[in-house]
Amino acid sequence: MNAFCIPPQNTTLRDIIVWAEELFKNSDLYFGHGTDNALDEAAYLVSYCAQKPADFNDNDLLHVLTASQREKVAEVLYQRITNKVPAAYITGTAYFFGLEFEVNEDVLIPRSPIAELIGEQFFPWFNYADGLSNNKKTPLNILDMCTGSGCIAIACAVAFENANVDAVDISTQALKVANSNICNHHLTERVKAIQSDMFVNLPQKKYDIIVSNPPYVTRVEIDGLPAEYHKEPDMGLYAANNGLQFAIIILQQAFYYLADNGIVVVEVGNSAQALQMLFPDIPFTWLEFEMGGEGVFMLDATQIRQYHAQLQNINITGE
């Protein structure tokens, strides 16, 4: 079989997965937007073309693809190999926190390690018993700043069934996707998508958790990223001020929006070192993740108040 010809008649799901895996291995592809290797990516995309579930069984492997399914395979391989479109944009679906999300090129493909923290219900800062009544300390108001597809906001609402979540993004196209995901997960009562340039349109409200995976990549870093990242919206990646533009705004505004016992959790990825250098006195708690990922810090409300003056001193240059 040749790269983008239509696979011959009588080819099974197994045959085509093996073929696609080989093609992927021999192409200059980057895996990291859902799967991390050629075989998983091939299995995911070929089963999508064959209209089989992503967790297909052994019997499905014997499925002989129809003519239109084989045509679809050729088209999908072209998109993935030649155009370097990430698999999630091809299928329109991504998985985060064990949940399915609709995605398109208006939103970043969900992959934040913050999912693991949400799975632990932000333990030890939340979800611990208070020792007296044994009531669990659980957040009632959560802000997901820079929500994109809404994945973090929705995962938080699923993890905390009594919480209301505000999901903020500046992009109306991203919010369309977020709203669709909120609907699909039947969370319209508790998760509200808000169009806002950071905190500008937010009501004066106190949040128990402010969580964010904002843009944090410098222009130099973006230029060096594999082609797949360039299919994602630039406004989902790029941040001025050494990648800290949005993280700084969150730290500055948390003073006004964080509840007395609240916490701020922000992903800054490779810009972690720049943040620590900018605020050498602030004792950021850098979170560790069993499932991989780093560059996520936590500060509590006491620390936000204590370092308020230092945080306000920084100007956002926009460069």
Ligand X SMILES: C[S@@+](CC[C@H](N)C(=O)[O-])C[C@H]1O[C@@H](n2cnc3c(N)ncnc32)[C@H](O)[C@@H]1O
Rounded to an integer, what distance in angstroms lies between the CA atom of residue 259 and that of residue 257?
Answer: 7
Query: CA torsion angle for 181, 182, 186, 191 (degrees, to 10)?
Result: 160
| Residue from 152, 177, 244, 301 binding ligand X (CB under 6 A) | 152
Total residues binding ligand X (CB under 6 A): 22
Q: Which is nearer to ligand X, 75 or 221 (CB)?
A: 221
Is 147 an interacting residue with respect to ligand X (CB under 6 A)?
yes
Rounded to an integer, what distance in angstroms lies between the CA atom of residue 292 and that of residue 241?
Answer: 26
DSSP H/E element including 88? helix 87-91
Is 139 an interacting residue with respect to ligand X (CB under 6 A)?
no
| Residue from 50, 157, 198, 266 binding ligand X (CB under 6 A) | 198
Asked whether 305 and 124 are in contact (CB, 8 A), the reply is no
* Residue closest to ligand X (Cβ): 148
| Residue from 108, 118, 157, 268 binding ligand X (CB under 6 A) | 108
The HSE-up count of residue 249 (CA atoms within 13 Å, CB side) is: 20
Rounded to an integer, what distance in angstroms lies between the CA atom of residue 172 and that of residue 94?
Answer: 20
Is 151 an interacting residue with respect to ligand X (CB under 6 A)?
yes
Is 214 an interacting residue with respect to ligand X (CB under 6 A)?
yes
Q: Give the CA distances from residue 224 to residues 67, 108, 217, 237, 262, in Å, rounded to whole numbers and listed in that order.
A: 40, 18, 11, 13, 37
Is 174 an interacting residue with respect to ligand X (CB under 6 A)?
yes
Rounded to an integer, what distance in angstroms lies between the CA atom of residue 95 and that of residue 117?
Answer: 16
Q: Which is nearer to ligand X, 156 or 299 (CB)?
A: 156
Q: Round to the nearest angstrom and report the end-to-end CA distance of the chain.
A: 49
Kindly report the number of other CB atoms within 10 A of residue 271's CB atom: 22
Is 245 an interacting residue with respect to ligand X (CB under 6 A)?
no
CB of 190 to ligand X, least distance (A): 18
Is 166 an interacting residue with respect to ligand X (CB under 6 A)?
no
Q: Which is nearer to ligand X, 38 or 174 (CB)?
A: 174
Tokens at residue 185, please? 């997960």
Q: Which is nearer to ligand X, 214 or 295 (CB)?
A: 214
| Residue from 39, 54, 99, 170 binding ligand X (CB under 6 A) | 170
Kindly report the number of other CB atoms within 10 A of residue 265's CB atom: 22
Q: Which is nearer to ligand X, 7 or 215 (CB)?
A: 215
Q: Which is nearer to ligand X, 30 or 128 (CB)?
A: 30
Is 169 an interacting residue with respect to ligand X (CB under 6 A)?
yes
Q: Which is nearer to ligand X, 110 or 262 (CB)?
A: 110
Asked whether 89 and 98 are in contact (CB, 8 A), the reply is no
Residues near ligand X (CB under 6 A)? 107-108, 110, 112, 146-149, 151-152, 168-171, 174, 197-198, 213-215, 235-236
